[in-house]
Structure 1
Amino acid sequence: MKATELQKFTDEELKQMLDDLKRKLMDLRFQLEMNKLTNTSQIKFVKRDIARIKTILRGRELGVRR
């Protein structure tokens, strides 16, 4: 998801999405270890989405608006 799309969500929605993505990342890592993950690039995309959400939340905390 793009950062501009994520900025439309409230802080609570973003925190919920962050929790969901962290769980998804954990599941993907388990699948990778069990050799059941066929598309390993999914891990990269989930990690990037987590970083985007954290960046937006931190920016709001500091009062930075773009």
Structure 2
Amino acid sequence: MKATELREMTDVELNKQLKDLKAELFNLRFQHAINQLDNPIRIETVKKDIARVMTVLAEKNAKNA
């Protein structure tokens, strides 16, 4: 997921994306804890995607204020 793609989304879409990513991260951590995770690098990727979404949301909030 690229930041340019995220900047084109609305606030509602970004919040939904953030919620979905956090749920995915929870599931990945749970799988990792019980040794069923095939690709542990996916956890890092999801964390970075969450950070990107939060950054874009912060930019939009600062721009509106």
Fold equivalence (TM over 0.5):
yes
Distance 1:34 1:10 in 2: 37
The count of residues paired between Structure 1 and Structure 2 equals: 64
Residue type of the partner of 1:28?
Answer: L
Q: Name the residue aligned to 1:61.
A: 61
Q: Comparing both structures, which one devotes a greater share of its residues to helix?
A: 2
Q: Name the residue aligned to 2:16.
A: 16
Q: Give the share of equivalent positions with the same residue, in percent.
A: 48
RMSD over aligned Cα atoms: 1.0
| 1:1-66 aligned within 5 A | 1-63=1-63
In structure 2, runs of 5+ residues without a counterpart are none
TM-score, structure 2 as length reference: 0.95
TM-score, structure 1 as length reference: 0.94
Task: Give the drift of 1:38.
Answer: 1.4
